[in-house]
Amino acid sequence: MATNDSIPEDPTGWMLDNSISDFLLVSSKEIRYMCIFGYTFLHGHRVFSALAPDTPPSFKFVSLIMACFGGGVFVPIFLNMLPVPIANDSLPLGVIVSFTIHHYFPIVREVMKLSDILKVVFVVLFETLRAMVVVTFTVAAGERIPPSFFSFPLFGPIFCGTIAGCGGAFLPLNK
């Protein structure tokens, strides 16, 4: 019978035992909410910057929703699941907060344009959440799509992960 002293220590354990990996793996609700805000805020920055100031707020709001949840609506429909904004209440709240900030405090967009450090922070938050969405939907597609030619589903999960990561870039379709 082996004792704990004979088990060698994992030399790669340091990779998961630090605060950076906790953040990148979105290991707590607080980190997730922070990434949701960064994701919706950066989308809001892009949507509001692309539209004219006299564009109706309703059009801006719907454009923001489509930009934020494009892939999170398409892929669950493909997989016979609930769309992300319906399944997770914190995401629509993030969109509402982001829309409110961009609509009532447009100076925040100007600060974002001027501050490279702020851009980097929001891009990291944005991409962290987007990576989490891609991995989540790729795994979900791998579990739901039956294998056909190989012993595991190959292209279905890749397509679903790709659409989950960039589906909002095509919405609204008048771009």
Mean pLDDT for back-to-back runs of 10 residues, the chain (175 residues): 68 82 89 95 93 93 90 89 90 95 93 94 94 92 91 91 82 62
> Are the C-beta atoms of residues 102 and 46 closer than 8 Å to each other?
no
- If you ran DSSP here, which 8-state letter would residue 12 be given? T
Neighbouring CB atoms inside 10 A of 137's CB total 27
**What per-residue confidence (pLDDT) applies to 3?**
56
pLDDT at position 96, please? 96
pLDDT at 73: 87
pLDDT of residue 30: 94
pLDDT score at 10: 81
The percent of the chain in helix, strand and coil, each rounded to the nearest 5, is 75, 0, 25
User: What is the model's pLDDT at position 2?
Assistant: 52
